[in-house]
A and B are shown apart, each in its own frame.
Chain A
Amino acid sequence: MNELTADDLQLWRGEQHVLRGIALAVAGGECLQVTGANGAGKTTLLRALCGLVPLEHGRICWRGREIVQDMAAYHSELNYLGHDNGLKADLTAAENLRYAAALRCRVQARDIAAALERSGVAEAAGQLARRLSAGQRRRVALARLALTGGSLWLLDEPGSNLDATGQHLLLQLIVEHLRAGGAAVVATHRGLDLPVTQLRSLSLQ
């Protein structure tokens, strides 16, 4: 069962108590939407769930096992999309996807072309990432997400810089991921427009 659970997460950043006893659970086919004002700790929570930020207290379990016990196995199932798109400015969109995917799975050139097409940036395939607009770069990052898969998606403000069709594409990708049995945690300052049965919410103060 794809299930991510966390109990009593506590984290301090200097003098600031950022995560105060957060508990959450999200199973395969479900999406947890993390909302909260700017600075409420959404990004910190997601990075803690990735295992990038060590916790002061609390535990995070994936499939009932603490993630610290086997970080490599956990990471191989995880797909994280942070604030930064993870694109090299001096590589083209297609090259970026090829090298990013090469860290995770074997993909063919046609898979890359299809992923870019799907994200609506097919015409950007041969352009350097530095020449793309912020929204196009986000779309390329979404193409990477769809291409590399993984059973747990941790998305940090995935809709930033996206236009209306981009937002729609994002929702479609999430819905498909959930239908395939995947789990997702999405930090967003505005709500996700997902079918209610699949959506859980966590609000950070």
Chain B
Amino acid sequence: MTLPRVGFVSAASALVARDLSLALRRSGDSLQPLGFFLVVCTLFPLALDPQLSLLRDIAPAALWVGALLSSLLALDLLFREDAQDGTLEQLALCGLPLQGLLLAKTAVHWLLTGLPLVLIGPLAASALGAPAAAMPGILAALLLGTLALSLIGAVGAGLTMSLKRNGSLLALLVLPLAVPVLIFGARATVLAIAGESLAAPLYLLAAIAVLAATLAPWALAAAVRIGLE
């Protein structure tokens, strides 16, 4: 039986549709990291002196450490199940570029865990006393930062997917690589809250995101192939 072959685009869009419908069926799983982020951000004002100036000072740190940790929390879901039920194997054996297919999976992951965080970010920032004028800057920084975090994290998730218990190892692998995102993201947020120009850290965040998008698919495909051996 020879059926017409599919191109990469239709295969990748089917994969995206599959992952989205799976996530919809288990919306609880994808909402957890978001809830975690909100809880972390609201714990800071509770633990500190309720002075607006103090909150504003720690807002960038709270926001970005929260974002980093919650992105880590979501990563475990990315490849583990696919590796266990054999669908990742089928992905690697379908004859289409694995880099692209895994990038599509990572994009869905960002859509489900990164984008909600970007959208809720201004709310969390205002809870931490950031002025309304800072919101566009915070939004832009979170947008670029979460993209980079998803891509970097996906490589770590690919490397650890075949291990039985990977929680702490994944954190040890990913957190050091995510330090530049944390530094420039927090810096952009500091500048946004102070009402100064945040172009420099935003450009650097964008550069990190582009670099990650360029290199991560190849590292990811290599990591997944090793995991499937």
Contacts and interface: CB of A to CB of B under 8 A. Distances in A.
Interface of A: 47, 50-54, 72-78, 80, 82-91, 95, 98-100, 102-107, 146, 148-149, 180
B21 A95 contact: yes
A103 B96 contact: yes
A89 B25 CA distance: 11
A102 B10 contact: yes
Nearest to B26: A90
A72 B96 CA distance: 6
A84 B84 contact: yes
Contacts of A82: 86, 89
B92 A149 contact: no
Contact of B1 (A72, A85, A149): A149
Contact of A99 (B2, B14, B85, B228): B14
Given A72-B97, A105-B3, A86 B26 contact: no
Interface residues of B, number: 33
B22 A88 contact: yes
A91 B11 contact: no
A9 to B, nearest CB: 15
B32 interface: no
12 contacts: A51-B93, A52-B93, A78-B95, A80-B93, A90-B22, A102-B11, A102-B14, A103-B90, A103-B96, A104-B5, A106-B6, A146-B1
B77 interface: no
B15 interface: yes
Given A75-B95, A88-B22, A90-B25, 20 more contacts: A51-B93, A52-B93, A54-B229, A72-B96, A75-B93, A76-B94, A80-B89, A85-B85, A85-B86, A88-B87, A90-B26, A91-B22, A100-B90, A102-B14, A103-B94, A103-B96, A104-B3, A104-B5, A106-B3, A149-B3
A99 B81 CA distance: 16
Contacts of B11: 102-104
Q: Is the interface of B mostly helix, strand, loop or mixed?
A: helix
A99 B3 contact: no
Nearest to B1: A149
Interface of B: 1-6, 10-11, 14-15, 17-18, 21-22, 25-26, 81, 84-87, 89-97, 225, 228-229
A86 B89 contact: yes
A136 to B, nearest CB: 15
A77 B1 CA distance: 11
B6 A102 contact: yes
Contacts, number: 102
Nearest to A149: B1
Given A52-B93, A72-B97, A103-B90, A89 B85 contact: yes
A53 B22 CA distance: 29
Contacts of B81: 88
A88 B85 contact: yes
Contacts of A89: 85
A87 B5 contact: no
Nearest to A90: B25
Contacts of A98: 14
A22 to B, nearest CB: 18
Name the residue in B4, B14, B25, B87 with the highest tally of chain A Cβ atoms < 10 Å from its Cβ.
B87
B109 to A, nearest CB: 16
A105 B229 contact: no
A99 B18 contact: yes
A87 B90 CA distance: 10
Contact of B85 (A86, A95, A103): A86
A77 B5 CA distance: 10
B134 to A, nearest CB: 40
A51 B22 CA distance: 29
